[in-house]
């Protein structure tokens, strides 16, 4: 080879590799992890809230006393005990035997990300369409991109996905002769927007998908992390047929163990297992045993309450800081759970263009462009409140507000920028953020 490009293997890659791009979030990690930077960028849970001494002892026993099994190969579907425990976890949200939930239909995965990838491998051909909320989870966009699918975003507002917009998207795709395979949705404490699909809309969305013959892929990593009232029942608790339920222990226990799952229609389970075996042979036996032991021997439901209180305090710290410090014209969502706030910038500001100046000011966030397949979303940003302490959150917002004020001042000098009324929260006394 002559080495005429930065990558001498360019002409040898498969066609599906050509569209791959780096995650907006992953690209930030090297900078955001510096101690001098206040990172409002990632979605890391606050692991220090766990009883780490007790967890460490539990993990040690798994190796010392059960190493001959936990360190051995396992089965592709996942350990039977863990699948039973997963059904107990889902039952807390209303997904139980009465709606067809069974350990036999649970497939254990390497985190929620592999669960997404398996569904994509089974159902997406190049050129197929996936309907997804706009904005949506950046990791899902990467999976769909790798499958050479096209993502059509469906707008949201403060009550989540807009049913009328979903109907319009289905009709538009049908008129254009585009084949829509499924709706991908995070209906509860959505990432990145933080909003929750309302009770009334959940039934309407399911009805629309049923009439259109669309599968529903429900991603629910945050459903047990509500701060105020109980979350609405998941979509899978309402409909059995055609709904794939994906979740993970990454947000409620430990992301480093990489344990998630799919609850799939019975007919699909075997194909998911075959696809998983082709990828990884079997999930980590040690990681599965660790989660099983945690659920069997430790007060995990009490630990969920600890996480909720920690995140509620940090959510409140962020909302207070935003109200106190953000420049006029900034709006944001008020999440009832989960890990994220979605902010809309004053007119004329660009979150991606502003990022280098924010890093120079030692604060990090994720530009909104990372959450749209077409790269739109530059007037938005995602802010995480789960990991930094409340005082660090306020300091991060202070630094970010300073960067925004500088950009506004520059645009006043070099270009006319209209300034909307005043700062406020979405859904309060100012217009809500444009989640479309």
Determine phi and psi for 209, rounding to 5 degrees: -65, -40
134-166 pLDDT, tens digit per residue, is 999 999 999 999 999 999 999 999 999 999 999
Within a 13 Å sphere around the CA of 427, how many CA atoms are in the beta-carbon half?
Answer: 15
Q: Tokens 């990454």, residue?
A: 250
d(CA 50, CA 47): 6
Please count the other Cβ atoms lying within 10 Å of the Cβ belonging to residue 91: 15
pLDDT confidence of residue 32: 67
Query: Quick one: average pLDDT of 242-251?
Result: 97
431/207: higher pLDDT: 207
Among the ranges given (93-97, 358-362, 428-432), the one the predictor scored with the smallest mean pLDDT: 428-432
CATH code, 17-50+302-412? 3.90.1150.10
Query: Quick one: average pLDDT of 71-76?
Result: 95
Q: Is the pLDDT of residue 436 over 60?
A: no
Query: Quick one: average pLDDT of 349-364?
Result: 95
What integer best gives the mean pLDDT of the chain? Answer: 91
pLDDT confidence of residue 422: 36
Which CATH number fits the domain 69-297, given the four candidates 1.10.8.10, 3.20.20.70, 3.90.79.10, 3.40.640.10? 3.40.640.10
Is the CB of residue 41 less than 8 Å from the CB of residue 365? yes
Of the pLDDT bands very low, low, confident and very high (cuts 50, 70, 90), residue 263 is: very high
pLDDT confidence of residue 418: 42
**Domain residues of the chain, as ranges?**
17-50+302-412, 69-297
Q: Is the pLDDT of residue 33 over 90?
A: no
Torsion region of 375: left, alpha or beta (phi above 0 gives left; psi -120 to 50 gives alpha): left
Of the pLDDT bands very low, low, confident and very high (cuts 50, 70, 90), residue 425 is: very low
Query: Quick one: average pLDDT of 236-247?
Result: 96
Of the pLDDT bands very low, low, confident and very high (cuts 50, 70, 90), residue 6 is: confident
In order of 32, 139, 395, the CA distances from 364 in angstroms are 6, 19, 12
d(CA 5, CA 12): 13
């Amino acid at each position: 080879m002559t080495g005429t490009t930065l990558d001498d293997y360019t002409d040898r890659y498969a066609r599906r590799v050509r569209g791959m791009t780096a995650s907006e979030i992953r690209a930030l990690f090297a900078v955001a992890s510096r101690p001098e930077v206040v990172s409002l960028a990632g979605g890391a849970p606050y692991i220090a809230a766990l009883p780490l001494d007790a967890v460490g002892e539990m993990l040690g026993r798994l190796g010392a006393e059960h190493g001959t099994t936990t360190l051995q190969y396992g089965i592709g579907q996942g350990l039977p005990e863990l699948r039973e425990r997963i059904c107990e976890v889902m039952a807390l949200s209303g997904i139980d035997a009465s709606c067809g939930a069974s350990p036999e239909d649970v497939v254990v995965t390497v985190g929620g990300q592999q669960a997404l990838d398996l569904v994509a491998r089974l159902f997406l051909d190049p050129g197929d369409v996936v309907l997804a909320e706009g904005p949506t989870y950046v990791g899902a966009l990467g999976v769909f991109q790798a499958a050479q699918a096209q993502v059509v975003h469906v707008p949201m507002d403060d009550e989540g996905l807009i049913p009328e917009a979903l109907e319009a998207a289905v009709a538009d795709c049908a008129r254009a002769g585009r084949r829509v395979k499924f709706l991908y949705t995070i209906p509860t404490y959505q990432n990145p927007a933080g909003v929750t699909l309302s009770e009334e809309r959940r039934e309407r969305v399911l009805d629309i998908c049923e009439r259109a013959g669309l599968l529903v892929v429900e991603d629910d990593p945050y459903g047990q992390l509500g701060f105020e009232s109980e979350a609405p029942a998941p979509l899978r608790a309402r409909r059995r047929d055609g709904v794939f339920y994906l979740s993970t222990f990454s947000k409620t226990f430990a992301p480093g163990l990489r344990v998630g799952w799919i609850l799939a229609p019975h007919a699909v389970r075997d194909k998911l297992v075959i696809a998983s075996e082709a990828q990884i042979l079997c999930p980590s036996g040690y990681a599965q045993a660790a989660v099983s032991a945690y659920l069997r021997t430790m007060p995990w439901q009490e630990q969920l309450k600890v996480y909720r209180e920690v995140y509620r305090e940090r959510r409140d710290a962020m909302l207070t800081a935003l109200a106190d410090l953000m420049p006029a014209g900034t709006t944001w969502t008020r999440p009832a759970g989960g890990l994220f706030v979605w902010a809309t910038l004053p007119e004329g500001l660009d979150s991606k263009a502003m990022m280098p100046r924010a890093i120079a000011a030692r604060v990090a966030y994720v530009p909104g462009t990372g959450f749209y397949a077409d790269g739109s979303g530059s007037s938005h940003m995602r802010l995480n409140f789960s990991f930094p302490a409340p005082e660090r959150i306020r300091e991060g917002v202070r630094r970010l507000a300073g960067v925004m004020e500088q950009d506004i001042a520059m645009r006043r000098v070099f270009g006319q920028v209209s300034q909307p009324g005043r700062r406020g929260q979405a859904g309060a006394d100012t217009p809500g953020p444009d989640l479309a």
